[in-house]
A and B are shown apart, each in its own frame.
Chain A
Amino acid sequence: GQQLNQSPQSMFIQEGEDVSMNCTSSSIFNTWLWYKQEPGEGPVLLIALYKAGELTSNGRLTAQFGITRKDSFLNISASIPSDVGIYFCAGRIQGAQKLVFGQGTRLTINP
């Protein structure tokens, strides 16, 4: 069943705008990962988070592991056309071995 709630499902923004998306769960997570997937390709790892409160950046991308360990967010600053794609959060629930994925956020950018 669905263990991660990712929102929003889709975003339509103007080039240059900042973007924010998040994932929440009722379960406690030990790891949060953020991936980007483009058409016809597999998900590409953007940022990995391993500790509650951790804030990590990768260029214009910043992600945080929520203090409660039940959520994470991803921000993209000053969006550009190549940021278009589907962004997935994924996490490993405490005590479990496998990753669970969110439903994805589809980002569309108007030039």
Chain B
Amino acid sequence: AQKITQTQPGMFVQEKEAVTLDCTYDTSDQSYGLFWYKQPSSGEMIFLIYQGSYDEQNATEGRYSLNFQKARKSANLVISASQLGDSAMYFCAMRGDGSSNTGKLIFGQGTTLQVKP
């Protein structure tokens, strides 16, 4: 069975500083994808970044980077130069990419990030 664990219910960061949101996962699939989504108080789910299990380079998207450590089964999100608008709930998710998989996403419980001015 696939599982995502986010151990930080809430995090604070000072504006303009970097912050790391933790995510560990468990799967028996050889091929899988890891995602991070942002959910502001408005409720929409905003895709941030994707890492494939066979990607050798860590994914980066602007101020977002994914610290992928396959042997440790971790996929931490790093947000650099935090902005007030980064305050939101952040979800780590996994998708199995084997031939029998349907593409459904398995989500963690989320981390609430608050950026202080």
Are A and B genuine complex partners?
Answer: no
